[in-house]
Structure 1
Amino acid sequence: MAILDFVKDAGKSLFGKAEAATPTAPAEALKTAEAAAAPSDTQRKVDALKAELRGLGLDGGDVHLTLRGDTVRIESRGADRETMEKLVLAVGNIEGIAKVDADLPAEPVFHTVAKGETLSAIARKHLGDANKYPAIFEANRPMLTHPDKIYPGQVLRIPV
């Protein structure tokens, strides 16, 4: 079992922004807290995550997601190592997700993109050759659609 950390405030927005309204009374604050923790809101978020995985072609029907706060647990019986790593990245690179818990057969190699980094620089660092950036791009498809479309805070899978 591995619990992997992600940048909670970076990534694709699936859940929408929380309203910035400030409650004026303690009773209103309690209602707001109860609404935020409502099971229906959790299920809505899980459904949005599942839809994202289906859209990326990563949910073959055997993927089970559990959401607790900002942590997602991924379970899949039929996924191989590469698919599990892609599932972890697809879910972890969603704004609002800080941790992903998944059973991985071996410790994956991930890289968090820093400001100004390119796939070539990442390839030079991890693979020893900047010209091997297509291997990193392919290892992160379908989440990446173009080698130049990476952003700070995004976590990428480094092929081994």
Structure 2
Amino acid sequence: MGLFSFIKNAGAKVFGIGKTDAEEAAEAKAAELKMEEMAAKKLEETVSDLDLEVTNLNILIDDDAATITGEAKDQATKEKVVLLVGNSDGIATVDDQMTVAEAEVVEPEAQFHTVVSGDTLGKIAKHYYGNAMKYPEIFEANKPMLTDPDKIYPGQVLRIPALD
């Protein structure tokens, strides 16, 4: 006897044993879609659990991109939903297609800040407002995603609302 060479993975194609590369790829894609659907549903549930009022909320995840539709109660709610989705593991971009319900008082859009190593809410407040003691404004603007003003992390994106 000696060494015999075979075509790797040919068995499934010749004898119907196992799966072809195309079948395995299709199953992997179906599993990925299922995971994306589950992640989107979990995010929608989280929005609801956090009492962020959005009617007809729909989140669609495709690879590392999320698309959000629906009507937010106000501008702050809209921005919080975008941040909630965008600050989720595996999401790199958010396509915000939400609308805002007509409000008596139209609030200005907030600025966004990406936290870097060494940042604190006080340091961020000093940068945007000129006063580090205004950090509670930033903390309040990012509730309920933030639960402690000392717990922010690099890469996290925060809302920086305009001061009245």
TM-score scaled to structure 2, two decimals? 0.72
- In the other structure, the counterpart of 2:50 is 56
- In the other structure, the counterpart of 1:130 is 132
Q: Alpha carbons of 1:41 and 1:59: their partners in 2 closer, same or farther (altered >3 Å)?
A: farther
1:37 pairs with one of 29, 32, 38: 32
Distance (whole Å) between structure 2 residues aligned to residue 120 and residue 94 of structure 1: 24
Distance (whole Å) between structure 2 residues aligned to residue 120 and residue 56 of structure 1: 25
- More RCO (CA 8 Å, sep 6+): 1
1:46 pairs with one of 36, 40, 46: 40
CA contact (8 A) 2:72 2:78 kept: no
User: Is 1:117 equivalent to 2:119 in the alignment?
Assistant: yes
User: Is 1:66 equivalent to 2:60 in the alignment?
Assistant: yes
CA contact (8 A) 1:62 1:78 kept: no
Deviations, residues 61-106 of structure 1 (Å, cap 9, x unaligned): 4322122221111112243111100000011110100011114777
Q: Which runs of no fewer than 5 residues in structure 1 stay unpaired?
A: 1-23
Deviations, residues 98-154 of structure 1 (Å, cap 9, x unaligned): 011114777541000001110000000011100000000000000000100111110
Bigger-Rg structure (1/2) = 2
- In the other structure, the counterpart of 1:148 is 150
Task: Give the count of matched residue pairs.
Answer: 136
Distance (whole Å) between structure 2 residues aligned to residue 73 and residue 107 of structure 1: 19
CA contact (8 A) 1:50 1:59 kept: no
- Secondary structure, counterpart of 1:37 in structure 2: helix
TM-score scaled to structure 1, two decimals? 0.74
Q: Alpha carbons of 1:72 and 1:82: their partners in 2 closer, same or farther (altered >3 Å)?
A: same
Distance (whole Å) between structure 1 residues aligned to residue 158 and residue 86 of structure 2: 10
Distance (whole Å) between structure 2 residues aligned to residue 36 and residue 130 of structure 1: 47
Q: Alpha carbons of 1:79 and 1:71: their partners in 2 closer, same or farther (altered >3 Å)?
A: farther
Please state how far the C-alpha of 1:59 moved relative to its aligned partner: 4.5
Distance (whole Å) between structure 2 residues aligned to residue 102 and residue 95 of structure 1: 18
Distance (whole Å) between structure 2 residues aligned to residue 36 and residue 131 of structure 1: 48
Q: Percent identity?
A: 44
Distance (whole Å) between structure 2 residues aligned to residue 60 and residue 100 of structure 1: 16
Distance (whole Å) between structure 1 residues aligned to residue 76 and residue 116 of structure 2: 23
